[in-house]
Amino acid sequence: MPCLHSEALDFMESASATTGASPAAGTEKSYLRETVTEPPGVRDMGWFFSPLWSPRSKTRSRFGGGGKGDQVEAWLDDHSDFTRAYFLRRASAVSGPQEESPMPRFPRSSSDHSDLLRKAHHRRTSSPPISSHLNMSSLMDRLKPLASNLRAPEWMDRSSPDILGCHSPCSPCSLRSSRCSFFSNRPLSPVWPCCPDLPHSRHPLCPTTTNTAACGNGECCPWMLELLRGGLSWMGSVAELCQGAVLHAGELLSADCCSLSLVKKDCGGRNTLEEVIAPTALGCLSEGNLCSHEHLELVKSIMGCVLATGSPVNLRDASEDPRFDFDDDQSKIRTVLSVPIKAHRGEVVGVMIMINKRDGCDGSVSVFTNMDEKVLSNHMDVLGMVLDNIQLYESSRQEAKRSQALIEMAQVLSMEHRSFEILLSKMAATIMPFTRAQYCTIFIPSQQTSVVEDQVSFSRVIHLECEELGSTCQIYRRQRDISDIDQSSALRTLVAMKTLNMSKSSEESIKSLICCPVRNERSENVIAVCQLMNKKSRDSDELEAFNRYDERLLEDLSVYCGLALQYAQAVQITEERRASIEVTQEVLAYHITAAESDIQALQEATIPSVESLNILDFHFSDFGLPEDLTTQATIRMFLDLNLVQDFNIDYKSLCQWVLTVRRGYRNSVPYHNWNHALSTAQSMFAMLKATDELQTIFSRLEILALMIATLNHDLDHRGVSNSYIERSQQPLAQLYGHSSLENHHYNLCLFILNNTGSQILSGLSAEDHRTVLHMIKRAILATDLTVYMERRTEFFSLAKKSRVNWKSEKQKDLLRSMLMTASDLSAITKPWPEQKRIAKLVTMEFFAQGDKEKKEFKIKPIDIMNRENSTRLPYMQVEYIDDICYPLYKAVSRLFNTCSPLLKGCKKNRENWMHLTEKADEEDCKNSSCVALETNKNNEEKTQTEE
């Protein structure tokens, strides 16, 4: 049977005549140095083809003449593994360095070639329908053409010529007398099946009549060479590729009937065979049709055995093989040769079968020899490699398309949208062109939906339709009622919680449909169902089934839809909470703002002087001071510091602000109330007025910030400490994490400053406004004793210096913080009657917290909060002065001598508390009290020594 190019025959004759050397000298290296022109693709293929195609050839081989060449060929015939390995190594270099490199190979874990298998129409000559056992896929998943458009994920083309038709140019009758060659000598493109840069032919890869020698009489097989050199660059489909392989191999081995199937994975992940080329007679059969139902069942059984074992099956007498059941009706099948089609890693990707080898022209049946088996196996190795590369290319193309779709959906998700429906509509419109779906529907379940199928329901749908307008398509969102859309598939998906891919065929049309659940990432609940319906064919108006790439794209869409749903829900919750906060702030502003009559009364009142109010005295006490005078004293401090004049503060706004701050303190709290705030502000005012140096160090903006901070530093104090708030996991602790109370005080201060009518900072520039708010926050946070303990060492070091430069912002911030603490603790410096009254109020507050800790946490409070230690109050007060107060006032007095009354008042009160400890010790001298007394005396002596 002729199959070689004439130029290849001429080349072999020339090479044989030129070398005339011994077989040892006829190596590949020396052979490549010949000056004879070789056809592209024949060069470097070497001796691989010679022993396979011409076991009885009389043509001289390249290894030299005589018996030694025959011995080399015989050795290669007997070592097929070496032959295959050599071929795979040499195949990658067929094109040469000047040609494009073939598709790169990527690792694959399976031999699933399901995506090569799509719908195709086979016109068979006297062939009955194939039973469902061999034809594993439904109408939706049959052989489809390779489209030239890169966006098409399918392989086959409806417009392809009928395969193996009787009137085809490559029909079996014409092939029996034809010689084998191909039209194209172009190099193999990296994108073999559908390279857009190369012509696209609809003709199957089949032998054509040329003036060449038989395939068995030469050393090069043009069918293989054309595949490796570029035959696929003008191929139309995998069906045509397989058709050409069947025709060539069947003609080469003189088979009466041939069939080819490719491997497909079923839903369970098992490998099954999908028929690509139906069993078709190639010769003029004298015994009738071999493609009856019984014969086909036997063919399926043999091919299934080859798939399971991965080894060839060569039946020289089929009826005598015990593995297969033969009956009298199957006597027409005499000899069978079936070989696996393997990819480069050895996995089986298909099976080829040949039935009844013809012997000569009389049509008698002969057996398939071992050489026939090797020839067919090597042909199928080439086919397997090509199919593998096609699958790899298609996978990479589909991944590129999927990545593009994901990027576009991510861009849609990142944009701001007016509504949730618009967001989902844009996402659905993004994926529809990639899947060529006619309809896309997103079903949103009702909140009352349960997992019972008869109880599930959907509350609304988002429905999109694709309308073709010439070469383009337009996607519209249609308003559809939920009752107008078939929900059955979406309900099944909602209950099963997994992707559903199905097709329904009727006499009128084919309906393809795919549904995917949309899950909530956190709860894994199905929060929606995405459905695509009616996939349109690229080259016709017919519908086809959705493939696994469409499934992946829809599952990706479901992930983004889930994110969109969660994003929409989060936005909705945020908006609701924002609205709730605004309502709460409005209510708070109404109740916290002083009555208009109180504001007007304060605005019209005559503010007493600083002398009459005694607010310049460090020993000022608000005990017994009327409530009206407390607010007037506050106004007086702002007026006397010229803050109203310097910062253009509206006087009515100042009155409203002072009254609002007073209402911000809880009267139920014994100590941390408005009176404490006023006392703290008065201490700061007294230090600023008594010390000219402080007014020189601080700017006018800093003085304003300090006065506002002192009045607001304990706003809305709850009478408990930060530790209690954190231990009880109150919202304040969750909101701020650290210094919870102080942060709350500042935020409420900010709220009042921004409240309508209380905006005393409205006269500041934007920059000054930001600066003063920052200083207020730093000053209020500094009243946390934890912050004070962390920073006081640095301050004490500054106080020991003979001269301090306060130009540094860091040092000024430290000074403001220490003065805030000194003002906050100034109750310890007040006259003894005031000190005893304040100590009692503090004790009430601390003991109340200790009682809560006992009740709620079942723990013993610390000594200062334990009511059982009430008799030890003098000892605890002395410890408090020694550890916290005295070192601070000593440092402040060292820096600013005018502040020494604070230190003196602290020392005086320590003496009074120490006297009480001695008195208590005389009444009841316990070991613990005696030890404490001795310790306190030592501390007192140490203090006197330092002074």
646's enclosing H/E stretch is helix 643-646
**Residue position matching structure tokens 């009142």:** 605
E strand residue ranges, 546-662: none
Per-residue pLDDT at 133: 34
Q: Is 200 among the catalytic positions?
A: no
Q: Are 16 and 58 in contact (CB under 8 A)?
A: no
Distance from C-alpha of 384 to C-alpha of 242, rounded to nearest angstrom? 10
CA 765 → CA 521, 571, 772, distances in Å? 48, 34, 10
Distance from C-alpha of 687 to C-alpha of 683, rounded to nearest angstrom? 6
Q: Which residues contact 807 (CB under 8 A, 6 or more apart)?
A: none
3-state class (DSSP) for residue 346: coil
Distance from C-alpha of 452 to C-alpha of 22, rounded to nearest angstrom? 84
Q: State both tokens at 368.
A: 């398939």
- Count helices and strands in the chain by DSSP H and E runs: 32, 15
590: left (phi over 0), alpha (psi -120 to 50) or beta: alpha
Phi, psi of 363 (to 5 degrees): 80, 10
Q: State both tokens at 334.
A: 């005499």
**What percentage of the chain exceeds 70 in pLDDT?**
67
- Quote the radius of gyration of the chain (alpha carbons, Å): 48
Q: Are 478 and 454 in contact (CB under 8 A)?
A: no
- Identity at 720, one-letter amino acid code: V
Distance from C-alpha of 318 to C-alpha of 596, rounded to nearest angstrom? 111
3-state class (DSSP) for residue 4: strand
Distance from C-alpha of 272 to C-alpha of 350, rounded to nearest angstrom? 9
Per-residue pLDDT at 403: 87
Distance from C-alpha of 757 to C-alpha of 384, rounded to nearest angstrom? 85
Annotated binding site: 672-676, 713-714, 824, 877
CB atoms near residue 508 (< 10 Å): 6
298's enclosing H/E stretch is helix 293-309
CA 57 → CA 25, 371, 560, 749, distances in Å? 22, 13, 65, 104
Q: Are 677 and 885 in contact (CB under 8 A)?
A: no
- Output the 3-class SS for 115-139: HHCCCCCECCCCCCCCCCCCCCCCH
The vertex-858 CA angle with 855 and 864, nearest 5°, equals: 80
706: left (phi over 0), alpha (psi -120 to 50) or beta: alpha
State if pTM tops 0.95: no
Instruction: Kindly name the residue from 295, 672, 744, 745 that is annotated as catalytic.
Output: 672
Q: Are 662 and 602 in contact (CB under 8 A)?
A: no
Q: How many CA atoms lie within 13 A of 304 on its CB side?
A: 14
The vertex-438 CA angle with 435 and 444, nearest 5°, equals: 90
869: left (phi over 0), alpha (psi -120 to 50) or beta: alpha
Q: Is 40 exposed, middle or buried (CB count within 10 Å of its CB: 0-12, 13-18, 19+)?
A: middle
Q: State both tokens at 573.
A: 């919750």
- Identity at 83, one-letter amino acid code: T
> Average pLDDT, whole number, for the chain?
75
Query: How does pLDDT run across 332-379, given as a tens digit for each residue?
Result: 788 889 999 998 788 899 999 998 888 765 667 788 899 999 989 988
Q: State both tokens at 830.
A: 């007040």
Q: How many CA atoms lie within 13 A of 217 on its CB side?
A: 16
Spans of the chain, pLDDT less than 70: 1-220, 228-236, 266-269, 283-294, 318, 320-321, 325-331, 360-363, 447-456, 469-471, 504-510, 521-523, 924-947
106: left (phi over 0), alpha (psi -120 to 50) or beta: beta
Phi, psi of 745 (to 5 degrees): -60, -45
Q: State both tokens at 420.
A: 């949730």
Strand partners, 579: none
3-state class (DSSP) for residue 52: helix
Q: How many CA atoms lie within 13 A of 703 on its CB side?
A: 25
Annotated binding site for AMP: 672-676, 714, 824, 877
Annotated binding site for Zn(2+): 676, 713-714, 824
CA 119 → CA 127, 440, 678, 763, distances in Å? 18, 23, 89, 79
E strand residue ranges, 430-589: 437-445, 458-469, 472-478, 500-505, 510-519, 526-536, 543-544
Q: Is 702 exposed, middle or buried (CB count within 10 Å of its CB: 0-12, 13-18, 19+)?
A: buried
Length of the chain as a residue count: 947
**Residue position matching structure tokens 């109370």:** 741
Per-residue pLDDT at 695: 92
3-state class (DSSP) for residue 801: coil
CB atoms near residue 809 (< 10 Å): 8
Domains of the chain listed by start with CATH number:
222-283+291-325+332-396 (3.30.450.40), 415-574 (3.30.450.40), 593-801+817-923 (1.10.1300.10)
Q: Are 252 and 344 in contact (CB under 8 A)?
A: no
Per-residue pLDDT at 329: 53
Q: Are 701 and 651 in contact (CB under 8 A)?
A: no
Query: How does pLDDT run across 792-834, given as a tens digit for each residue?
Result: 999 999 999 888 888 899 999 999 999 999 999 999 999 999 9
Q: State both tokens at 119.
A: 């719908």
Distance from C-alpha of 756 to C-alpha of 758, rounded to nearest angstrom? 6
